[in-house]
């Protein structure tokens, strides 16, 4: 069994600027698995942008065009569990042998190998064996090879051997096409102005686009109402608010660190270097703004400080915001990044 989802086909994977390269590479591979220079094919991009869908589509098409080839889709988590199980039962060789027999190996979310030295090592051997024999390897990740943390260098360099292609946020037209297709499949019709409104406003990823459709349909059904622009706007604004609430302190710290080019360790440390102090204070300030966490909880998560320090940080930031124009600019920039 290939573990492929028959619904994730090329036919219903809408093409757009945001996925053109990855999709084209996938198509080429389906025709000649192992026979192109795209080995491995490394597809990366944020959540909900279609990585899993696309690799299933490739697998399904390989099976259709080359019924003799063995295709396997496996999540990296499952691979890891199977390996742990194999070690426990002392049959690692069977595990390795099983994977080395596969013609087209699709491994999803390879970033989950990070920090797992033993699993990385066994995957390294499987990778080498498959690659030497010209078997096709397809990998997905939420980050580019260069950006994956805690991964052996020899694996990272192999990830770059073939083609790395990223999936980006779909543009307006692609979003509209995706919406149309989903509704058509369910046999539902939305007014054009509603479609336009959703495509304009939900610009994060495809999963949220689908989620918003479901919420609107649920709202209309529950209240026995027509699907109108007004109902849509109300439903979507609620969705956006909920998403806001889910911004984590960790995410805020990362965003602030990136902006000021300081490290997370610096922020967590005791250092009093000026730029680090500023970044730390801003992280506290935004945590207060964007989350429901208490001052004490914010303090404990950002550098193990007490609630008084957080309070002081918030006051300092507010003061600077009023008196310092450059600082006001920082706050606006970071705000935008956080709520993006
Ligand atoms: P990822 O693995 O990148 O997190 P998924 O492959 O799970 O994303 O995609 C999320 C949802 O969006 C799935 O239901 C998928 O079918 C849909 N989707 C993503 N990209 C497209 C596309 N280009 N056309 C149609 N549906 C898409
Ligand atoms: Mg996925």
Q: Are 301 and 287 in contact (CB under 8 A)?
A: yes
Tell me the CATH class for 17-166.
alpha beta
Pocket test for ligand 1, best of 55, 109, 207, 213 (most atoms within 8 A of CB): 207
Give the 3-state secondary structure of residue 107. Answer: strand
Whole-number Å distance, alpha carbon 183 to ligand 1 midpoint, is: 15
Q: Which atom of ligand 1 is nearest to the CA of 167?
A: 3
Tokens describing residue 37: 């220079």
Query: How high is the pLDDT of residue 243?
Result: 67
Nearest ligand to the CA atom of 11: 1
Q: Are 103 and 34 in contact (CB under 8 A)?
A: yes
Q: Give the up-direction half-sphere exposure of residue 162: CA atoms within 13 A in the CB hemisphere.
A: 29
Closest CA to 138 of 265, 2, 16: 2
Q: Which atom of ligand 1 is nearest to the CA of 54?
A: 6
Q: Is the pTM of this model over 0.80?
A: no
| Residue listed under structure tokens 């604004």 | 237
The pLDDT profile of the chain, 340 residues, written as one tens digit per residue, is 999 999 999 999 999 999 999 999 999 999 999 999 999 999 999 999 999 999 999 999 999 999 999 999 999 999 999 999 999 999 999 999 999 999 999 999 999 999 999 999 999 999 999 999 999 999 999 999 999 999 999 999 999 999 999 999 999 999 999 999 999 998 999 999 999 999 999 988 999 999 999 999 999 998 899 999 999 999 998 887 776 667 889 999 999 999 999 999 999 999 999 999 999 999 999 999 888 889 999 999 999 999 999 999 999 999 998 899 889 999 999 998 887 7
Q: Are 140 and 52 in contact (CB under 8 A)?
A: yes
Which residue's CA is minimally distant from atom 19 of ligand 1?
50
Query: How high is the pLDDT of residue 339?
Result: 79
Query: How high is the pLDDT of residue 338?
Result: 87
Taking residue 102's Cβ as centre, other Cβ atoms within 10 Å add up to 19
Whole-number Å distance, alpha carbon 44 to ligand 2 midpoint, is: 10
| Residue 337 CB burial class (10 angstroms; 0-12, 13-18, ≥19) | middle
Q: How far is CA 137 from the centre of its chain?
A: 20
For residues 124-156, one letter each, b for 16 or more C-beta atoms within 10 angstroms of the residue's C-beta and e for the rest, the string is eebbeebbeeebbbbbbbbbebeebeebeeebe
Query: How high is the pLDDT of residue 291?
Result: 85
Q: What is the DSSP letter of 166?
A: E
According to CATH, the topology of domain 249-339 is Chromosomal Replication Initiator Protein Dnaa; Chain: A; (1.10.1750)
Pocket test for ligand 1, best of 11, 170, 206 (most atoms within 8 A of CB): 206
Which positions ≥6 away from 221 have C-beta within 8 Å?
none
Give the 3-state secondary structure of residue 76. Answer: helix
Domain ranges of the chain: 17-166, 172-245, 249-339
Whole-number Å distance, alpha carbon 51 to ligand 1 midpoint, is: 7
Whole-number Å distance, alpha carbon 50 to ligand 1 midpoint, is: 3
Identify any residues that bridge with 41 across adjacent strands, giving them in sequence order.
138, 163
CATH architecture of the region 172-245: Orthogonal Bundle (1.10)
Tokens describing residue 312: 């002081």
Q: What is the ipTM of this complex?
A: 0.99
| Residue listed under structure tokens 């013609």 | 103
Q: Do 172-245 and 249-339 share a fold?
A: no
Please, which residues have CB less than 5 A from ligand 2, an ion?
Answer: 51-52
Pocket test for ligand 1, best of 50, 75, 199 (most atoms within 8 A of CB): 50
């Amino acid at each position: 069994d290939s573990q492929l989802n028959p619904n994730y086909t090329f036919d219903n994977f809408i093409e757009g600027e945001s996925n053109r390269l990855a999709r084209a590479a996938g198509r080429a591979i389906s025709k000649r698995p192992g026979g192109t220079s795209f080995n491995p094919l490394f597809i990366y991009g944020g959540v909900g942008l279609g990585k899993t869908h696309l690799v299933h589509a490739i697998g399904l098409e390989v099976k259709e065009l080359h019924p003799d080839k063995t295709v396997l889709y496996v999540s990296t988590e499952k691979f890891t569990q199977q390996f742990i199980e194999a070690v426990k039962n002392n049959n690692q060789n069977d595990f390795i042998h099983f994977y080395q027999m596969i013609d087209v190996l699709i491994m999803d979310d390879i970033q989950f190998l990070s920090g797992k030295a033993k699993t990385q090592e066994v995957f390294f051997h499987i990778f080498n064996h498959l690659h030497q024999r010209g078997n096709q390897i397809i990998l997905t990740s939420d980050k580019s090879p260069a950006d994956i943390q805690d991964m052996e260098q020899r694996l990272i360099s192999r990830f770059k051997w073939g083609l790395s292609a990223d999936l980006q946020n779909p543009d307006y037209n692609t979003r509209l096409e995706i919406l149309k297709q989903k509704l058509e499949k369910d046999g539902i019709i939305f007014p054009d102005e509603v479609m336009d409104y959703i495509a304009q406003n939900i610009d994060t990823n495809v999963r949220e686009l689908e989620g918003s459709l479901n919420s609107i349909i649920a709202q209309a059904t529950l209240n026995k109402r027509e699907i109108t622009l007004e109902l849509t706007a109300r439903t979507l604004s609620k969705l956006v608010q909920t998403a806001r609430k889910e911004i984590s302190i960790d995410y805020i710290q990362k965003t602030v660190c990136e902006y000021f080019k300081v490290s997370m360790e610096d922020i967590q440390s005791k250092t009093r270097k000026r730029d680090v102090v500023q970044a730390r204070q801003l992280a506290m300030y935004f945590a207060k703004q964007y989350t429901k966490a208490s001052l004490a909880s914010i303090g404990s998560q950002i550098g193990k400080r007490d609630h008084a320090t957080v309070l002081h940080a918030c006051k300092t930031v507010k003061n600077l915001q009023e008196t310092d124009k450059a600082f006001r600019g920082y706050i606006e920039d970071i705000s935008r990044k956080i709520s993006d």
